[in-house]
Amino acid sequence: MSRLANRPFARMNGCGNAIIVLDLRGADIAVTPDEARAIARAPGLAYDQLMALYDSGAAGVTAAMKIFNNDGSLSAACGNGTRCVAYMLMRDTPLRELALKSDAGVLACTRDGELRFTVDMGTPRLHWWEIPLREAARDTACVRLHGEDLPPAFREFAAVNMGNPHAVFFVADAGAVDLAIWGARLEADSLFPEKANISFAQAVARDRVILRVWERGAGATLACGTAACATLVSGVRKNLTDRKAVISLPGGDLGVEWRATDDHVLMSGPVELEFEGRFDPAIFDREKL
Enumerate residues 6+ apart whose C-beta is below 8 A from 102: 64, 65, 67, 76, 77, 78, 82, 163
Sign of the torsion angle spanned by Cα atoms 191, 224, 38, 27? positive
Residue pair 154/182 in contact (Cβ under 8 Å)? The answer is yes
Closest to 143 (Cα-Cα) out of 198, 67, 181, 95: 198
Helix (H, G, I), strand (E, B) or coil at 61: coil
Residue pair 106/99 in contact (Cβ under 8 Å)? The answer is yes
Catalytic residue among 15, 78, 84, 109: 78
Closest to 66 (Cα-Cα) out of 14, 118, 124, 27: 27
Report how far residue 79's alpha carbon sits from residue 170's, in angstroms, rounded to the nearest whole number. 21
Catalytic residue among 84, 109, 224, 229: 224
Task: Please report how many Cα atoms fall inside a 13 Å half-sphere around the Cα of residue 183, on the Cβ side.
Answer: 23
Report how far residue 71's alpha carbon sits from residue 185's, in angstroms, rounded to the nearest whole number. 17
78 carries an active-site annotation: yes
Burial 233-265 (b: 16+ CB within 10 A, else e): bbbbbbebbebbbbbbbbbbbbbbbbeeeeeeb
84 carries an active-site annotation: no
Could you list the active site residues?
A: 78, 224
